[in-house]
Amino acid sequence: MSAAGWPQLDMAEQRKIRVLVAKPGLDGHDRGAKVIARALRDAGMEVIYTGIRQTPQMITEAAIQEDVDAILMSILSGAHMAIFPKVMELLRENGVDDVLVMAGGIIPDEDIPAIEAMGIQGNFGPGTPMSAIIEYVRAHVHSDRLSQQLAPMSTAGTAIETPGTGDAAGQAAQ
């Protein structure tokens, strides 16, 4: 059993974990999100990076279209208490109830209980080791999703650039 209580599958029976990394709202600072996206990809996960200034509708649509196992929203603008509830509402309205939803960025400690009550798990602030985020995703994604084969990823996301190099890693990091 995983930490979340779902049965674990043999690694040979599992496919790669598919993660959507999103930058909601008007927040244009995406270096951290790109670093996390690359770390998840380097850890063997399929990563779709949405780019900046995503609406809750855009995030939800991308999660559904890409059939992701996890969503990680990175926000620095302070708009999390306006944006996160809308994302969770849209996910529920669309029957998306088996996807791990996480948050990162600048989130005040006093907001964490309300965010967790929405169903958002794994709240990661500045300085969180990449290994902690990677292990959290691996331990908490619904393992029953990993036994399902998925269609190939589309190229709906934007390129992930290596910070400081301007080198794009492709439309959808794999």
Domain range for 93 = 17-146
Q: 159 is written with which tokens? A: 């390129």
Establish if 81 belongs to a structural domain. Answer: yes
By the 8 A CB rule, do 146 and 162 touch? Answer: no
**What does DSSP assign to residue 162?**
P
User: Where residue 63 sits, what CATH number does that domain have?
Assistant: 3.40.50.280
Write down the pLDDT at residue 62: 97
Write down the pLDDT at residue 116: 96
Write down the pLDDT at residue 72: 97
Establish if 65 belongs to a structural domain. Answer: yes
Establish if 112 belongs to a structural domain. Answer: yes
Establish if 2 belongs to a structural domain. Answer: no
pLDDT tens, residue by residue, 121-171: 999 999 999 999 999 999 999 888 887 765 565 555 555 555 555 554 433
Write down the pLDDT at residue 74: 95
DSSP 3-state assignment of 19? strand
Q: 7 is written with which tokens? A: 């049965």
Establish if 9 belongs to a structural domain. Answer: no
| Cα(105)–Cα(2) distance, integer angstroms | 26
Residue ranges for the chain with pLDDT beneath 70? 1-14, 149-174
Establish if 23 belongs to a structural domain. Answer: yes
Write down the pLDDT at residue 161: 56
Establish if 31 belongs to a structural domain. Answer: yes
